[in-house]
Amino acid sequence: MDQKLEGVYDAVVARNPGEAEFHQAVREVLESLGPVIDRHPEYLEMKMLERICEPERQIIFRVPWMDDKGEVHINRGFRVEFNSALGPYKGGLRFHPSVYLGVIKFLGFEQIFKNSLTGLPIGGGKGGSDFDPRGKSDSEVMRFCQSFMTELYRHLGEYTDVPAGDIGVGGREIGYMFGQYKRITNRYESGVLTGKGIAWGGSLVRTEATGYGTVVFANEMLKTRGESIDGKKVMVSGSGNVAIYAMEKVRQLGGLPIGFSDSSGYVVDEAGVDLDLLKQIKEIERGRVSDYAERRESASFSDRGSIWDVPVDVALPCATQNELNGEQAATLVKNGVKAVAEGANMPTTPEGIHVFQQAGVLYGPGKAANAGGVATSALEMQQNASRDSWTFEYTEERLTDIMVNIHDQVATTAESYGAPGDYVMGANIHGFEKVANAIQAFGLV
C-alpha cells in the first residue's frame, strides 16, 4: 500500500475495532489507489478516502419474534447506509447467523464501488440480521420478517434506501417484508424493495441476474486471450440462486458445469450438472447437495477436502466471503485454471488473489464480476418508476450490455494506470473516481 494511504487504513482499523471483514475490504481498495492519489492529490487534501470509509448512517435495532411453539426470540437487525453520492442507498439484506456489524459494513463498502461500476444512479448500502431462516417454518419466517420491517421501514424509500435480497433472503422473505411495509405505510411503493415477485412489481431476470452476469464477465475476460466459456469445464461453489444460474449461463455459452457445494460439502458431476434436478432439490425441496448425489448416478458427494481441489478451466466462487484461500488458489493454478470470476462478495482471500495474479490467471473481483444482480435491481426500479414491465429478452439484453460495459471500463482504467489486465485495480479505481467526484461536487456534507 502507498505510504500516504497507510495512515488512512490505520485510522479505519482503530475507529472500527474487531471488524476484520470490513478492514479487509478497505485495505483491498486502498492498495489500488496510490496512483490515483498521485494523479489527484486533492482527494487526499479533502479527506475523500476518510469520507468514503465512514458510513453516512449506521442503524442497529432489536428484532423480537415468536416461534411456532410460542417461545420468544430476540435477534439483531442492521442497515448500514454507506454512501448516497450517486443515488439512493442500494444493497441487499442478509439473514445468516454470521451477520454482525463488521460483515454488513464490508458488504456495504463493496456495494459503493460495485454500484458505481454499473453506471446506474444508485448508492451503496447493506443490511440484515443474525436470524437463521434455515429450518424455520414459513410462519416463523413471516413473523420475523414482519418484526424486522416494523423497525426498518422508517429508514426506507424509493428516493432514500432500496434494499434487495442476499444470503437467506429470497422471494419469500421479500414478499413478507414488502407486505408489512405496505401495511404500515398505506402506500404501494413498488420501488422500495427489489427482488419482488413478478406478479407484484418484480423484474424478469432478477433471479438469474448475478449468476448470468458473472459468467458474462468471465467470458469477456477470456475473450481478451482469444478464448471463451465454450468447451470449458467450470466449477461453481454454492448452490443458491447465484450458483444455479451461473451454471445455467455456462450451459448456454457452451461450457460444462461439473460441480457445486453448500455448507455440508460439495458435489462433482463429470457428466455435467443436471440443473432441473438441482433446482428441484434446492429451490422447491430446500434440500442439501448430498440429496443431488443420491439421485444422480454420475455424481459424487464429499464432505472432505475442498471443491477447489477438482481440476477445471474456470472457477466461479459464488458462496460467501473468504471461501477460497491461498492454498486452494495454488491448487487451482497447479491444475490449470484459466479464469476466476467472483459471484459472491469477497470470496477470495488476499493471499488467494495474490496467487492468481502472480500466476497470470484472469481474475475478476466480485465488485465487477457479480454486479449483474444489483444492476438488474436498478432496472427493476426503473420499471417500477415508469409503471412498466419488460420482457425477459429485453431485460437480459440490458444486463448483458451492462456487464460487457463494466468489463471494458475496468480493463481500460487498469491500462490507463499502467496495469493492463489487473481487474482489481481497474475496478477499484474506476468505482472510486466516480464516487469521489460526486462527493466533491456536493461540498462538505
Hey, which residues are catalytic here?
126
DSSP string across 239-285:
-SHHHHHHHHHHHHTT-EEEEEEETTEEEEETT---HHHHHIIIIIS
Residue with cell 426498518: 152
The span from the CA of 24 to the CA of 336, in Å, is 28
Which is nearest to 191 in space by CA: 166, 149, 148, 162? 162
> What does each C-alpha distance from 395 to 101, 104, 196, 212, 242 come to in angstroms?
34, 29, 15, 12, 17
Residues 6+ apart with CB under 8 A from 35: 417, 418, 429
The span from the CA of 23 to the CA of 107, in Å, is 11
The span from the CA of 116 to the CA of 122, in Å, is 7
- DSSP code of 310? S
Question: Please, are residues 369 and 112 in contact by the beta-carbon 8 Å criterion?
Answer: no
How far is C-alpha 33 from the geometric centre of its chain's CA atoms? 22
